[in-house]
Amino acid sequence: MKETNRSEEPNMEERILTEAEKLFFEKGFAATSTTEIARLAGCNQALVHYYFRTKENLFTKVLGGKVKGFFNEFLSVNAGEGDFKTKLARVIGCHFDIIRQNSHMTLFLITEFTRDPLRLEELKRELGELPSQLFASLEEDLQREIAAGRIRKIEFIDLLINILSLNAFLFVVKPLFMQICGLTDQQTEALLDHRKQEIIQTILSSLRP
C-alpha cells in the first residue's frame, strides 16, 4: 500500500474518483460507463476495475462519504439559543446554505434514492437517531408557541414540508431555471442570496396568528 499523496499531483486512483463523481452526478449511475470514466481520467478502462473491482463499488465509494456527510451536516444543525422565531430562522438559513453548497447533489440524491430504495434503507440505518434529535426539539417548541397563541395552528409535518420545499426546490430545478430565465452564474448567486432571506420571511410571516 502506498502512502497517501500530500501536495503531489493526483494519482490515477484519485483522478478516477474525481471523474466518476462528476459523471455520476451529471448523468446518474445507469448512464455512466466505466469506459467513459477511464477516458476522462486518462487511463485504461481496466484500471477502473483494478482499483474498485466493480462499478457499483466505485459508485458507493464516491457517494458513501458525500451523501452521509451531507445528511449528517443537515441533521446536525443546531437550533441554538433565542426565541422560537430566531431559532427557526437560523435553522432555515443553515439548511439553505448546506443545500446551496451541495447544489449539484440535490437532484442526484432524489433520483438515485427514488430509483434504488435499498440504498435509502441503508442510509436510514447509518443515520440512526440523528433525524429525530433535531426535529423533536423543534416540535416541542412549536407546540409551546401554538399553545401560547404566538403562532397560528399548524402541524409540525406541514411546517417541515414547507421549509424543505422552499429551501430545496429551486436547487432541484436550478439548471432549468437558469436556462429558462437566461441567468448568468453571477445573477443566479445574487438571486440565491435574496431567496434565502425571502424564504425565512415567507415562513415566519406565514406562521403569524
Of 25, 34, 91, 174, the residue at the interface with DNA (CB under 7 A) is 34
Q: Which of 11, 72, 133, 206 binds a second copy (CB under 8 A)?
A: 206
Tell me how far apart the alpha carbons of residues 127 and 107 are, in angstroms, rounded to a whole number: 20
List the Cα angle 67/73/78 in 5-degree steps.
Answer: 160
- Name the segment binding DNA (CB under 7 A); options: 6-14, 92-100, 165-173, 199-207: 6-14
- Number of chain residues interacting with a second copy (CB under 8 A): 43
- In the bound state with DNA, the residue whose beta carbon lies nearer, of 36 and 73, is 36
Between 43 and 151, whose beta carbon lies closer to DNA? 43
9 or 129: whose CB is closer to DNA? 9
Among 5, 10, 27, 44, binds DNA (CB under 7 A): 44
Helix (H) or strand (E) holding 185: helix 185-207
What DSSP designation does 45 have?
H
Q: Which of residues 78-137 bind a second copy (CB under 8 A)?
A: 107, 110-111, 113-115, 117, 120, 124
Q: Can you read off the three cell numbers belonging to residue 107?
A: 437532484
DSSP, residue by residue, 141-178: HHHHHHHTTSS----HHHHHHHHHHHHHHHHHTHHHHH
Number of other CB atoms surrounding residue 106 within 10 Å: 20
Of positions 13, 97, 139, 141, contacts DNA by CB under 7 A: 13
- 40 belongs to the binding site for DNA (CB under 7 A): no
87 CB-near residues (< 8 Å, 6+ apart): 79, 80, 81, 138, 141
Cell of 130: 440523528
> Which CB sits closer to DNA, 9 or 158?
9
Which residues form the interface with a second copy (CB under 8 A)?
26-28, 30-31, 107, 110-111, 113-115, 117, 120, 124, 152, 154-155, 158, 161-162, 164-166, 168-170, 172-173, 175-176, 179-180, 194-195, 198-199, 201-203, 205-208
